[in-house]
Amino acid sequence: MRISKIIIMFLIAVFLTACDKRPKETVNEQQKTGAVQMCGIVKTDQEWKDTLTPEQFEIARQKGTEKAFTGKYYDFKGDGIYKCVCCGNELFDSKTKFDSGSGWPSFFDTISQKNIASVPDNSLQMERTEVICSKCNAHLGHLFEDGPKPTNLRYCINSAALDFEERKKPDK
Ligand code: FE
């Protein structure tokens, strides 16, 4: 009886120690380097700065917003795929792009729900839904429910968070 009690106490102590340590190390590491892990891509702020322009870094890694009607894609009508500027994850097809009049590239659907994550954003005293790249956690923009049919959704995205790749024409 006494031995089993000791074993149980020992296991509880081990469990509590493990629980206590893990979050602290994660938070400290994130605070130190700015690295965030989603589905595999982890880079420090400095590593992102090495591959992004200052504008891309500010918007995609620091939740910035480009001024309306200034981004390179808001009035762009190319046929192809918009990828995450940070990691190349395929996000939007130009076939779902529409002119929202907002001054930012707008899409009514994603290439795959798996490629984008939505998180609540209560900054600026507003209740909004932030959309991020599910692969590298890049800030992309916001999601609104006033888009056109068939989804009635409007993904309002910063040009600086996107990289456009033209669709390949089939060989004749
Ligand atoms: Fe990404």
User: Could you state, in order of their start, the residue ranges of all structural domains in the chain?
Assistant: 1-33, 45-166
Phi and psi, residue 142, nearest 5°: -135, 160
Distance (angstroms) between ligand 1 centre and the Cα of 3 equals 53
**Among 10-24, 40-54, 126-140, 145-159, whose mean pLDDT is lowest?**
10-24
- Assign 107 to helix, strand or coil: strand
Q: Report the 10 Å Cβ neighbour count for 131.
A: 23
Indicate if the pLDDT at residue 5 is higher than 80.
no
Two tokens, residue 10: 């020992």
d(CA 161, CA 85): 5
Residues with catalytic roles: 156
Per-residue pLDDT reduced to its tens digit, 106-157: 999 999 999 999 999 998 889 999 999 999 999 999 999 999 999 999 999 9
- Assign 120 to helix, strand or coil: strand
Which residues keep their CB under 5 angstroms from ion ligand 1? 84, 86-87, 89, 133, 135-136, 138
Q: What letter would DSSP give residue 40?
A: S
CB proximity list for 55: less than 8 A, separation 6 or greater: 66, 160
Indicate if the pLDDT at residue 23 is higher than 70.
no
Supply the pLDDT for residue 21: 39
Q: How confident is the model at residue 25 (pLDDT cuts 50, 70, 90)?
A: very low
% of the chain residues with pLDDT over 90:
72
Distance (angstroms) between ligand 1 centre and the Cα of 75 equals 23
Q: How confident is the model at residue 40 (pLDDT cuts 50, 70, 90)?
A: low
- Class of domain 45-166 as given by CATH: mainly beta
Q: How confident is the model at residue 13 (pLDDT cuts 50, 70, 90)?
A: low
